[in-house]
Chains A and B, each alone.
Chain A
């Protein structure tokens, strides 16, 4: 980058910087208003719960498996539908 381009860049930056700071005031002194540990604990608890599959899904999977075992000729039709 040439000196001229760098100077132009700096000038453009300064102009926009002034406008941006007016529109978006800097937040360097923003402080957290509450302890987030309880929220963190809830997140940890939620993620550590074992993955649970509803009984209906198990029943549906069993029914499909049984149907495929009893009627293997239906497999191509099922694949076609998928």
Chain B
């Protein structure tokens, strides 16, 4: 029996094999969204826990395990963004680049960081992947379980929200 079929049948050894094959990829995807190594490790385990519980729903004949795992990881990361407190999201793992552009004041950078972290989770998810990580819209759409058109709309709205927040701080001119 193939590995995926054994996994779908509830075989723990098959699950372990899949875990070892895909843990790094799930982690890499998750850390790009949550930007915190500790949280990304926990979310990788959470993702595989959800995968293990849902093994009966996985169709080994039609299913693409990698895409399925990525979608579950995206949902887990989205849940994390929804529930994590703002303070804990300001991770020390990946601080801002120490050498900032001197043309952009530290005030603008600070307000931009704050405004970005205050975005609603679903907008922050697509904005992070599309604007920071340069992930193609169709890849984001597949991972988030939405259409590419909706990803585009959410990126647009996220940009508008950021602009509005920056201008409300009186920083629009400085940000340009």
Q: Interface of A with B (CB < 8 Å)? A: 9, 12-13, 15-17, 19-28, 30-37, 39-40, 43-44, 47
Contact = CB atoms under 8 A, between A and B. Distances in A.
Interface residues of B, number: 43
A16 B162 CA distance: 8
A32 B49 contact: no
A48 to B, nearest CB: 10
B98 to A, nearest CB: 11
What DSSP secondary structure best describes chain B's contact surface? helix
Interface stretch (B2-10, B40-48, B69-77): B40-48
Given A15-B176, A22-B104, A32-B24, A27 B94 contact: yes
B19 A25 contact: no
A20 B132 contact: yes
17 contacts: A12-B160, A13-B131, A20-B112, A23-B109, A24-B35, A24-B96, A27-B31, A27-B32, A27-B94, A30-B32, A31-B28, A36-B19, A36-B23, A37-B19, A39-B45, A40-B48, A43-B45
B168 interface: no
Interface in B93-121: 94, 96-97, 100-101, 104, 108-109, 112-113, 116
Interface string B38-76: 000100110011001000000000000000000000000
